[in-house]
Structure 1
Amino acid sequence: MKKIKQIIIPLCLMFALFSCGKGFLETSPKAQITDEQLPTTKAVNNALIAAYGLVNGNINGTWGNYSSAPSQWLFGEVASDDAHKGSSNADQSPMNDIELHKVLPSNDNLPTMWNNYYEGVIRCNFTLKMLAQLQASDVSDKFTDEEATSIEAQAKFLRAHYYFFMTRVFGNEIPYIDESITKTADAAKVANDVDITPKIEEDLKFAVENLTYEKPNNEAGRVDKYAAESYLGKLYLYEKKYDQALPLFKDVISKKPALISIPFTDNFDINKENGPGSIFAAQQIINPDGSGDNGNVGDMLSGFYGSAPVSCCGFFQPSLDLVNAYKVDANGLPILDPSDYRKNPYVSDLGLDTAQKRHYQVDQSLHFDPRLDYTVARRGVPFKDWGIFPGDDWIREVAFAGPFLSKKQMINKADFAGNTVPGTEEITGLNVNIIRLADVYLMAAECAAQTNDLAYALARVNDVRSRAALLPGKKIDGKPAAVYTIKPYPSFASKEYAMQAIETERRLELALEGHRFYDLVRWGIAKTVIESYQNFEKEYVSASKTITFEKKDEIFPIPQQQIDRSGGVLKQNAAGQ
C-alpha cells in the first residue's frame, strides 16, 4: 500500500485538533499559533496530510457523507440523465428532490457538501499559515526553499480543488476564505458577492509553476504537475478559455504513456491504483483495524441489495437511457440522436410477469459498445467475479429505479480481504479517480474542436475509442453477451458534429464517474437533455417524473443553515430563491 495512504490512517487525533466540525462559520479560530508554539516541520507535514484527508469528502465516521463523495454521484450523476437515486422512494427521500431538481435550501444533502469541503479549505489554510510562520522563524528545524515551495503548491492545489467542487454545486459566488483569515468572526463577515474563479485559477497556476512531474516524496497519492496542468486546463475549459486549456492538456498527453497501452479496466481495479492512467484520485484505504473512515464511504450506498454478496444499500442505479446510449449503429459508431437509440429500447426484464422473468434470457444479438458491460450490471451478464447478475434479487425496488446497477464502484470478491470493512463490504478501499487520462484526452479533443482543429479532436476521440475496442466482451455460456462493436470515427465534417461526438464519448467513457450533470450545464444543454430524458424514462420507472428545468437549476441552493448562521452576510443564490 502506498505511503501517502498509510499516513492518513493515524490522523484521527489530528482531525480532532484541526477539524471545523459542523461548519467554518461556527467554529473557534484556527491556525493561531503563539510564539511559544511555533510549528515544526513534522507539524506542517501532518497538517498537509490532514488537508489531503478531505479529498475523500469525509471528516470522520462512515455514514452520512454521500453528497460530498469525491465521485459526485449524487450531484454529478443522479441530477443528470445517467442515473437514478435508486433504493426506494422513502429511503433518503431528500435525494429524490436532487434527481427531480426541486431542491430547497433546507435539503440535508447541501450542508454535507458545503461543510466537508470548507473543512478541506480550512485545513489547507492552516497548512499554509503554519508553513509561512515556520519558514519566517529563527528555528533550525525548517524546510529547504524547494521543500517549502512544494508544500505550498500542494496545499494551494488542494484548496483550489475544494473550491472548484463547491462552485460547481453552489455557483461561483461563495465565500472565499484564505490563510489570512484566522478568526471565525472575520470569516463570518466574508460575503458571497464575488466570483471566486480567479482565486482558484491563481492557486492552480502556482501549483503548475512549482510542482514537478515526479510525485513529492515519491508518494503515489500526492499531487504533481500532471494533476496541476490537468486541473488548470479543466478550469479553463469550464471558462471556455479553450486556447489556454489545450496546451496544458497536450503537455500531459505528450508526457504520459499512450492511452491505448493502459487498459480501461485499470481505472476500477484496486490492484492497479495510481497507475499512469490516474491523474488525480481520492486515496481510499481500509484501516489496519478493519475500520473504514478512510475508505470510500461516499459511495457506500451503491452497494447492492438482497442476496448479493454485498447487500447494502441499493442506491445509484444507472438509467435506462444511459444503457440504451451504448447502442451502436452498423458502422460501430454511437447513435448520437437520443430519439433513435430510444427506439425499441432495451429494458432487460423490466415489466415482465413472474413466469416470464423466470424464463428470461439475454438477447445476445443486440449491438453494444463493450464499455456497457464494464459500467452497468444487467441481468444475465457476468458481474466481475461474483457470477451472473440475477437482476431483481440484487435490486431493492425495481419498479422505482429500474433493473440496472453500477459496476465501477465495486471490487472483485477475490479482493475483499483487506480492502473492505468486514461485515460492511460496501465500504471499500478502491480509489476514486477525479481526473483520469481518458478525461484529459476528451477535454483536449473538446478544446481542439472549439478552436476548429478538427483533426486533433478526431485523433484524441479515436484514441479513447480504440482503447475501448480492446475490452474483451463478456460471455454467457462461452458466447458473447452482445455483438460488441466499436469503431473509430472516419472524420469530423464540422465543428458541430465533432462536439456532438465528443459530448457522447464523454458520456460513454466517463459514465457514473460524476461528470455528466456538470458537463450538461457547461455545454448549455442541461434543460433540453434532462427534460427529454425524463419524458422517456418516466414510461419505465416511477423515480422519473416530468420536470421543468430552469436556468436556476444549473446550481443548487446555499444551505439554509449557513444563510442563518451568517446573520445576513451570505445571500441566497438564484437556485434557492
Structure 2
Amino acid sequence: MKHNKLIILLSAGMLFISSCGKEFLQKLPQGQLSEPQVGNKDGVEAALIGAYSILNGNVNGTWGNYASAPSQWVFGEMASDNAHKGSELTDQTPMNMIETYNAISTNDNLSTQWQVYFEGVLRCNNTLKLLAADQEGPMEITAERATEIQAEARMLRAHYYFYLWRVFRHLPVITETMTTEEARTTPNDQDVTPLIEEDLKFAVANLPENKINNEAGRMDKNAARAYLGKLYLYQQKYAEALPLFKQVMAGKDLVSMPFWNNFDVTTEDGPEVVMVSKHAINSNGSGDNANVGDMLSGLYGSSPVGCCGFYQPSIDLVNAYQVNANGLPYLDKSYRDDPYLSDLKNPTESYKLDVSLRVDPRLDYTVGRRGVMYLDYGVMPGNGWIRDAAYGGPFVGIKTMIPQSQFATNAAPGANYVTGLDVNIIRLADVWLMAAECEVELGNLPGALKLVNDVRNRAANIPPKKTASGANAAAYSVEPYPAFTSQEQARQAVRFERRLELALEGHRFFDLVRWGIAKETIESYSSFEGDYLSAYKGLTFSAANEYWPIPQVEIDRSDGALTQK
C-alpha cells in the first residue's frame, strides 16, 4: 500500500489537536483552546489534517470504533438483510439490539457514532475558525490555498454530518461561527441537509480537479460532485443529481477496471477510487491510523487471522448471487426456493462443495464459503473459522481482509485483524449505479440499461475462484440484461445490482430506507433467514426503526437542548 504524506501526517495531526476529546460539546471547541498557539500557516494545515483523521472513524486507540467505522457496517449492513453481527449471541450484546431493531438511547454503539463524527464536525469548524483568523491578518496563507483549505474542511464537515444524519436524522447544526455556549445549547430541531448541501456546493466550486500534492486521501472536485449527487439522490432530486454523476463518470471506462483492486491492499489507490478513508500501520507498529473500524470482522479460530469472528454475510445475501440459465439474477427472490446453505446442515468431513451451483462470480470475492479458495489462506474450511455457525451462519466476509503475504507490512504486529486496508466511501461503480437509478426515475431506461450492464460486464471479467483441486468453485455466470421492459423492472434491476456490487460496503440499510422498502424487505428476509438461523426469526420493522435514538448521554450533557424525536 502507498503510504502517502497525508497518511503519515495523521498521527501528528491527532496529537496536535489532542486538546479535544471524544465527548461532544463537553469541552471547548479546539480553536478557542489553542488559537494563540496554532493561529499560523502550520497550525491551520495541522488542524485540517486532524479533521481528515476522523475519516477512519477513530479519535485514538484501536478497540471500540466499530460503530463509527467508515464502512458503516454496524448500521449500514448488520442492520440490513446483508449481514449478521456474527460471533456469538453473548458477545457485544448491544450490537444485537441494533441488528434486531430494539436499540435504546443508552446503547454504546449510538454514542460511539455520535461522539466520533461530531468530533469530526468540531475539528472542521476549528480549522475554519483558525483559517478565518489567519486571513484577517497578518496573513500567512495565500488566498488561493485558503480557499482550498476552506473547501476541504467544508467537504469533510458535510461528510461527517451526512453520516450522522443517516443514523440519527435529528441533529444540532453547529458551525464555526458559534460560541461554545451557543453550540452547547443548540437544539436538534433543524434540518441539517441545507448545511450539507451548502458545504458540498462550495467544495464542488472550489476544490481542484486533481488531488492536492497528489495525496490520494485528499478531497477533490469529483469527490465533491459525487457526494453532492448522492445527497440529491437521497432527496429524490434525480434531475439535479444526474449531471453531477455524469461529470464524475466522464472519460472513464469502468468495465476495464478490475473489481478486486478495490479490496486489494496492494492496488487500492486505483482509478475507481472517488472518496476514500486512507489507512496505514504506523512505522512503530501502532494501528491508530489503520482500519480499526473493521477489525472485528477478522476470521476466527484456526484461520491465519485468529480474531474476531464478527460481520458474517447472511444466507439471503449469498443466495441473491444465484443466477438463472441466462446469467441473470432472480429479481423476484425465487432464489429462496432452493437455497444454498453450504455446510450449515452438514458440517462434517463428508460435506462436498456443489461446483454446479450457478452464481455471479462476485459472490466468491465478497463471501468466503467452505471448499473455496480464500485469498492466499488456502481453502475455507467451514466451522474452523466461525465462532457459532448456528447463530451467525456458515459464511464469512472477504472485502475487509488482506492476504497473509501482506501481514508483515500491512497488519499490526500480533494483530492481523488490524490492517492498513483502505475503505472506499464512494467508488465509481457506486456512482455508475446511482446514475442508473436517476436514469430510471427520469424515464431513460436505455441509459439505465447501459450503466447497469457496464457493471455486469465488468463482473463477467472476474477470474473464477477455485477449489483445492484447481477446478472452478461454481458454474460462474453473469450476463447483461437484454432490455428493460418497464420502469418497474428497471428499478428492481438497479436496486438488485447495487446489492450485488456493493454488498458489505455499508450502503444496504440506508438504500432500503431511502427507497421506502425497509419494512417489507426486512420482514421478508426475517421470514426466510429465520427458518435456518433462529436468531433472525420474527423481526418486525416500523418507520421508527429507520433511524436511531439520540444517545442519552448527549441529551444529559446538553442540559435538555437535545431531545428525542
TM tier, shorter chain? over 0.9
SS of residue paired to 1:251: helix
1:132-211 mapped onto 2 (5 Å cutoff): 132-139=132-139, 142-171=140-169, 173-183=170-180, 185-211=181-207
1:93-132 mapped onto 2 (5 Å cutoff): 93-132=93-132
1:17-56 mapped onto 2 (5 Å cutoff): 17=19, 19=20, 21-32=21-32, 37=37, 39-56=39-56
Corresponding residue of 2:289? 294
What is the alpha-carbon distance in structure 2 between the residues aligned to residue 552 and residue 544 of structure 1?
19
What is the alpha-carbon distance in structure 2 between the residues aligned to residue 350 and residue 263 of structure 1?
32
Deviation per CA, 1:214-236: give whole Å up to 9, x if none. Answer: 11122111010110000000000
The correspondence for 1:384, drawn from 366, 369, 375, is 375
SS of residue paired to 2:311: strand
SS of residue paired to 2:275: strand
Pairing 1:214–2:210 present: yes
Counterpart amino acid of residue 341 in structure 1: Y
Q: What is the CA distance between 1:500 and its match in structure 2?
A: 0.1
Corresponding residue of 1:11? 13
Pairing 1:342–2:344 present: no
Q: What is the CA distance between 1:143 and its match in structure 2?
A: 1.7
Pairing 1:82–2:82 present: yes
Deviation per CA, 1:455-495: give whole Å up to 9, x if none. Answer: 11110000000000000111221211110000000111111
Q: What is the CA distance between 1:37 and its match in structure 2?
A: 4.7
SS of residue paired to 1:532: helix
The number of equivalent residue pairs is 562
What is the alpha-carbon distance in structure 1 between the residues aligned to residue 227 and residue 55 of structure 2?
14
What is the alpha-carbon distance in structure 1 between the residues aligned to residue 35 and residue 44 of structure 2?
16
What is the alpha-carbon distance in structure 2 between the residues aligned to residue 194 and residue 159 of structure 1?
17
Counterpart amino acid of residue 461 in structure 1: V
Q: What is the CA distance between 1:22 and its match in structure 2?
A: 3.7
Could you tell me whether the CA contact under 8 Å between 1:84 and 1:401 is conserved in 2?
yes
What is the alpha-carbon distance in structure 1 between the residues aligned to residue 405 and residue 220 of structure 2?
32
Corresponding residue of 2:222? 226
Deviation per CA, 1:117-169: give whole Å up to 9, x if none. Answer: 00000000000000111011125xx2221111111000000000000000000
The correspondence for 1:485, drawn from 461, 477, 495, is 477
Could you tell me whether the CA contact under 8 Å between 1:3 and 1:220 is conserved in 2?
no
Corresponding residue of 1:529? 521
Deviation per CA, 1:245-291: give whole Å up to 9, x if none. Answer: 00000011014x30012100110011112211010011100000111
The correspondence for 1:321, drawn from 313, 316, 322, is 316
Q: Which moved more, 1:4-13 or 1:379-388?
A: 4-13
Normalized against structure 2, the TM-score is what? Answer: 0.98
What is the alpha-carbon distance in structure 2 between the residues aligned to residue 45 and residue 260 of structure 1?
38
Could you tell me whether the CA contact under 8 Å between 1:385 and 1:413 is conserved in 2?
yes
Counterpart amino acid of residue 391 in structure 2: F
What is the alpha-carbon distance in structure 2 between the residues aligned to residue 479 and residue 491 of structure 1?
33
What is the alpha-carbon distance in structure 2 between the residues aligned to residue 111 and residue 72 of structure 1?
14
Q: Which runs of 5+ in 1 are unaligned?
A: none
What is the alpha-carbon distance in structure 1 between the residues aligned to residue 424 and residue 141 of structure 2?
31
Could you tell me whether the CA contact under 8 Å between 1:65 and 1:298 is conserved in 2?
yes
Q: What is the CA distance between 1:569 and its match in structure 2?
A: 1.1
Corresponding residue of 1:570? 562
Q: What is the CA distance between 1:36 and its match in structure 2?
A: 5.3
Q: What is the CA distance between 1:11 and its match in structure 2?
A: 3.2
What is the alpha-carbon distance in structure 2 between the residues aligned to residue 157 and residue 182 of structure 1?
22
Q: What is the CA distance between 1:38 and its match in structure 2?
A: 6.4
Corresponding residue of 2:392? 401
Q: What is the CA distance between 1:49 and its match in structure 2?
A: 0.4
Could you tell me whether the CA contact under 8 Å between 2:320 and 2:335 is conserved in 1?
yes
Pairing 1:269–2:260 present: no
Amino-acid identity (%): 57
1:356-375 mapped onto 2 (5 Å cutoff): 357-375=348-366
What is the alpha-carbon distance in structure 1 between the residues aligned to residue 433 and residue 399 of structure 2?
19
SS of residue paired to 2:77: helix
What is the alpha-carbon distance in structure 2 between the residues aligned to residue 344 and residue 36 of structure 1?
68
Counterparts in 2 of 1:130 and 1:307: CA distance versus 1, 3 Å: same
Corresponding residue of 2:345? 351
Counterparts in 2 of 1:121 and 1:366: CA distance versus 1, 3 Å: same
Could you tell me whether the CA contact under 8 Å between 2:38 and 2:44 is conserved in 1?
no
1:537-552 mapped onto 2 (5 Å cutoff): 537-552=529-544
Could you tell me whether the CA contact under 8 Å between 1:466 and 1:488 is conserved in 2?
yes
Normalized against structure 1, the TM-score is what? Answer: 0.96
Could you tell me whether the CA contact under 8 Å between 1:100 and 1:545 is conserved in 2?
no
Could you tell me whether the CA contact under 8 Å between 1:84 and 1:543 is conserved in 2?
no
Counterpart amino acid of residue 176 in structure 1: V
CA RMSD for the aligned pairs? 1.2
Q: What is the CA distance between 1:41 and its match in structure 2?
A: 0.8
Counterparts in 2 of 1:546 and 1:91: CA distance versus 1, 3 Å: same
